[in-house]
Amino acid sequence: MRFAANLSMMFTERPFLERFGAAAAAGFDAVEFLFPYDVPAERIKAALDGHGLTQALFNLPPGDWAAGERGIASLPGREAEFREGVATAIAYAKALGNRLLHCMAGIPPQGLDREEALAIYTGNLRHAAAACAEAGLTLLVEPINNRDMPGYLMNGTALARRVIGEVGAPNLKLQLDLYHCQISEGDLATRIRDNADLTAHVQIAGVPDRQEPDRGEVHYPYLFEVLVATGYRGFIGCEYRPRARTEDGLGWFRTASKQAAR
């Protein structure tokens, strides 16, 4: 198992570019984050290389995040903007050596029929998957729970499987966030096994408060065993908000890393 520190949530005691060194010092060899677009790609690449880190994942541009947009892939009339965002993300991915891109589905406007939103979404995914394939990249869809993100279109693994099947692109895969999955669906071991054929990235956090994975109702040591048993060899993204200083809550990571090395 390879753990990737999510630098949008972890090590936020420091400015963004200083988080890479902090992650490496804590023992991580990979990182992920939500959006890199406010920082020139060459500066991020220098931080990665300077600390021997692999860039595991980031998201396509989400639209107007400050205004509440959470992706534009299912929003009518935004197709041109979406395609521009795909091109921008691919350019960053090439510069950073990143192989995985997550496409946020978005929160469709009230009054838009759900099936119509899904049709827009799948159409945009077809374009993005084709563009990513040309660049040798994998595109991901991630179910996100509607408690944290009300109205978010992609909200369950069954829907993810449906959409991936309808798009039909071999490089379109599942990003399985076990925090979101526990809130939306539960039965996590079964979800892991049933979706092993499509899963290309996994994320973790404690439930219900999205803190360290060793806090809350989910027993991650068992789920790590399930992941290994299914043959999963991808990254495990640590997308959680530390209770206090990030380094003070990494006991779970040290334990899991030792177990993975056996």
List active site positions.
142, 239
Contact at 8 Å (CB) between 187 and 218? no
- Measured between alpha carbons, how far is 23 from 18 in angstroms, rounded to an integer? 9
- Measured between alpha carbons, how far is 101 from 117 in angstroms, rounded to an integer? 21
Give the 3-state secondary structure of residue 37. coil
Give the 3-state secondary structure of residue 172. strand
**Across the chain, where does the E strand assignment appear?**
2-6, 30-32, 54-59, 100-102, 138-141, 172-177, 199-204, 235-238
- The answer for residues whose C-beta is within 8 angstroms of residue 26's C-beta and 6 or more apart is 5, 11, 246, 247, 250, 253
What are the Cα distances from residue 45, in Å, to 7, 14, 21, 93, 257?
Answer: 14, 18, 13, 10, 25
